[in-house]
Amino acid sequence: MSSPASAPAPAPVDKSQVGIGERQYHIAVSPGEVSSVALLPGDPFRVPFVAEFLTDVREVAHNREHRTMTGWYKGRHITATSTGMGCPSTAIAVEELARVGVTSFIRVGSSAGLQPRIEPGDLLVSEGSYRNDGTTSAYVPVGFPAVPDIELTLALARHSARIAEDAGTRSFSGISVSDDAFYAETPEWIDQLHRMGILNVEMEASALFVVARLRGLRAGMVCACSSNLVAGASLYDEKNGALKDGWMRSIEAALETAVELEL
């Protein structure tokens, strides 16, 4: 007597195909609910800061750390989605936003300066990120660069410089670093980054740049300086008026870039 045929082994899940054409699991957004360009603050409670610049604003979703609102700015449809803190949640946000139609991303967040002249409220445009995170190593080898879209970055730098000058502050461009462990940044590590000429430290850009590059998307970053880690001890403080003003200037620079490049 022949034995019954064995059931075929289940195939592993192909996550590159998960969620395409559907409501996304983490950000809770469906195709057709967002625009082709997204501004990405980290904090969900800063998404309304983007909305202050927009008309016909609509809240699309707020799930976990990911809050999404849409509206219009100078004839361009704009989306704002919060990434949460760090590279893991940023990578998820970018992957899922891409699945629902976003093709360009601009991070607008907070970042600490690592060079002496940078002050809270100044704008910081990233020309590339030193990958001191774990997430991007799951995507690419160690030597793979985390670089933004060059045309988008040059436009961000132009608009940031103009907006900062009009406000009586400054804008800087340079290499940033994305760290995973906020409280593990020792004085020795901060000094090493400073001596390497790293402009600023934050926690999301390397994932944004790497995922965007792999998926054929455009990405850039302009942040407001929250503190300076080499010019004396300082603490992140949302009540700092200079920082709030810097956030608003970074958002304006990102929006003007989206209009200029028709993102």
Contact 184, 136 (CB under 8 A): no
**What structural domains and CATH numbers belong to the chain?**
37-260 (3.40.50.1580)
For 39-64, write each residue's pLDDT tens digit: 999 999 999 999 999 999 999 999 99
Determine the Cα–Cα distance for residues 224 and 124; give it in Å rounded to an integer.
6
pTM: 0.94
DSSP 84-139: -SSHHHHHHHHHHHHHTT--EEEEEEEEEE-STT--TT-EEEEEEEEEESSTGGGT
Strand runs (DSSP E) across 133-188, as ranges? 171-179
Contact 53, 255 (CB under 8 A): yes
Is the pLDDT score of 190 beyond 60? Answer: yes
Determine the pLDDT at residue 182: 95
